[in-house]
Amino acid sequence: MRLLVTGGAGYVGSVCTTVLLEQGHDVVVVDDLSTGNADAVPSGADFVEGDIATVADDLLCGDGPRFDGVLHFGARSLVGESVEFPEKYWQGNVVTTLALLEAIRRSGTPRLVFSSTAATYGEPDSVPITEDATTRPTNPYGASKLAIDHAISSYARAHGLAATSLRYFNVAGAYGGAGENRVVETHLIPLVLQVALGARDHISVFGTDWPTKDGTAVRDYIHVKDLADAHVLALTKSESGRHGIYNLGSGEGFTVREVISACERVTGIPIAAVDAPRRAGDPAVLIASSSRAISELGWKPAHTDLDEIVADAWEFTRSLGDRLHALRRS
């Protein structure tokens, strides 16, 4: 298939592009490089630097060969920033995606896979979280992604678009030379690995009095390669006029202290950790139910061992050398 990947210079987008190329697809990546890295775009993909809202119509409706599908990763994704500057998320996520949806409609592009998020659920009533759980996001980031999900549903019903939203939990690991390397890093595993590299003094543990096995918060970690495989399946399993929504996680939770211990085992380096107060809005436990993705997409995570996930991330992080971003001291 000929596929357009938005945000393909970012973490998940670059890994998914790698997997698509391995499977023989023709891929065009568009990214404005506001948070992505040009050198993360896999060789073999055509790269267009530009704002999605500006270039989508030319790419999809222009005189060139038609696209068989779009995988939409391009978005702002920092929770704290979304609270401080919500306008960036309504404009950069929602308005931009509406422009993309219009280009998809006008061009007759038949398939869309959207990078959604577990943040659409907010604080869950129970775990594991299913797709039928109440959606009540606690920040503008999650709200913007939920708004896009609603827009996609209406386009699918009205215009016959075969659409899929994949709601990720905590993505980690690396694959094919692609991994996490952000200017502003907020994810636990790369932050802990930066401590191991000496790029940070310590890792902050936000909350030690949660109702969990060791008092720290529990999260579900999914390997980025498993995530990429789900996108490929979503392309092939999507149906015209239907918007499928699927959670993606390992179905297993690990505490913050368990993640730190895994990083110490993999790196062989002691990790300095400092206890800190809970952050407002952080739930105690977030674990996905991926049973719908397993039954309807035929997807099953193959890399659920936490040490394996950390080891892949560690290999990638060490390979960056002077290219490592986010060298802020904690």
Stretch 292-305: mean pLDDT = 95
Omega cis (within 30) before 301? no
Pick the catalytic residue: 89, 141, 155, 168?
141
**Does position 239 have pLDDT exceeding 70, yes or no?**
yes
Round to whole Å and give the CA distance between 18 and 71.
Answer: 13
* All residues at 6 or more sequence positions from 180 whose CB lies less than 8 Å from its CB, including other chains: 11, 172, 174, 187, 189, 190, 313, 316, 317
141 is catalytic: yes
Query: Mean pLDDT for the chain?
Result: 94
- Total residue count of the chain as it appears in this document: 330
> Is the pLDDT confidence value at 75 over 70?
yes
pLDDT at 181: 82
β-bridge mates for residue 171, sequence order: 222
Q: What is the CA radius of gyration of the chain?
A: 19
pLDDT tens-digit series, residues 113-128:
999 999 999 988 999 9
The bridge status of strand 203-206 relative to strand 2-6 is unpaired
| pLDDT exceeds cutoff 90 at 214 | yes
Q: Quick check: 66 pLDDT over 90?
A: yes
Dump pLDDT digits (tens) for 120-166: 999 889 999 999 999 999 999 999 999 999 999 999 999 999 999 99
Please count the other Cβ atoms lying within 10 Å of the Cβ belonging to residue 43: 8
